[in-house]
């Protein structure tokens, strides 16, 4: 597994880079310039000002949001051990936001560190693949995730007290 780029929880609000914000502002201004100054000179009829304003602003905002989305993908993909260049290219090449929808559907879970050995593990892992350290509470019968405070598995009805869950997981659940 690739080493993910680490971003602290406090930095989650800064997942849209500055270059993306600047690009979004520039694209918005360029779209507005085109639709207010260049495009009207090429028309043979006059469009009502309300409709023109609505269409101009909505197209400008759509283009700006598209730039912000590409910036978000550039920061979010490395956190998930995914190739940011590949997903940015997919988002740019696939029209109408289809690339972004694919990214959000196919992205992998966030990657964290195993507290015992420091190996990068996905958030949905129950055990560390390197040292067998139990990361989350799971049923000993069907191996599905359970809350540490549960007495029985919600999927198979297995009694969880027989699984000898580590004390540190029981303390977290209380």
Q: What is the pLDDT of residues 67-83, one digit of tens each?
A: 999 999 999 998 888 89
For residues 24-44, b (16+ Cβ closer than 10 Å) or e, as one string?
A: beebbeebbeebeeeeeeeee
Q: Report yes or no on 25 lying in a domain.
A: yes
Q: Note the pTM of the prediction, 2 decimals.
A: 0.65
Mean of pLDDT values over 136-154: 78
Q: Report yes or no on 49 lying in a domain.
A: yes
Q: Report yes or no on 90 lying in a domain.
A: yes
Q: Report yes or no on 152 lying in a domain.
A: no
Q: Report yes or no on 125 lying in a domain.
A: no
123 pLDDT exceeds 50? yes
| The total number of structural domains that make up the chain | 1
Tokens of 32: 């507005």
Q: Which residues pair with 127 in a beta bridge?
A: 134
Q: Report yes or no on 126 lying in a domain.
A: no
64 pLDDT exceeds 90? yes
Domain membership of residue 103 as a residue range: 9-108
Q: Report yes or no on 93 lying in a domain.
A: yes
pLDDT at 151: 79
Q: Report yes or no on 101 lying in a domain.
A: yes
């Amino acid at each position: 597994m690739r080493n993910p780029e680490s971003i602290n929880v406090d930095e989650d609000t800064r997942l849209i880079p500055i270059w993306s914000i600047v690009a979004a502002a520039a694209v918005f201004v360029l779209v507005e310039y085109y639709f207010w100054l260049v495009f009207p000179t090429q028309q043979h009829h006059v469009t009502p000002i309300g409709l023109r304003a609505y269409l101009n602003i909505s197209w400008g905002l759509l283009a700006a949001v598209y730039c912000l989305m590409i910036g978000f993908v550039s920061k979010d993909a490395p956190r998930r051990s995914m190739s940011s260049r590949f997903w940015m290219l997919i988002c740019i090449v696939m029209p109408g936001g289809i690339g972004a929808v694919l990214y959000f559907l196919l992205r992998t879970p966030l990657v964290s560190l195993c507290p015992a050995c420091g190996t990068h593990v996905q958030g949905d892992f129950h055990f560390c693949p390197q040292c067998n350290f139990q990361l989350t509470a799971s049923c000993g019968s069907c191996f599905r995730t359970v809350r540490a405070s549960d007495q029985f598995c919600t999927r198979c009805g297995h009694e969880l007290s027989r699984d000898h869950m580590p004390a540190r997981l029981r303390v977290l659940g209380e």
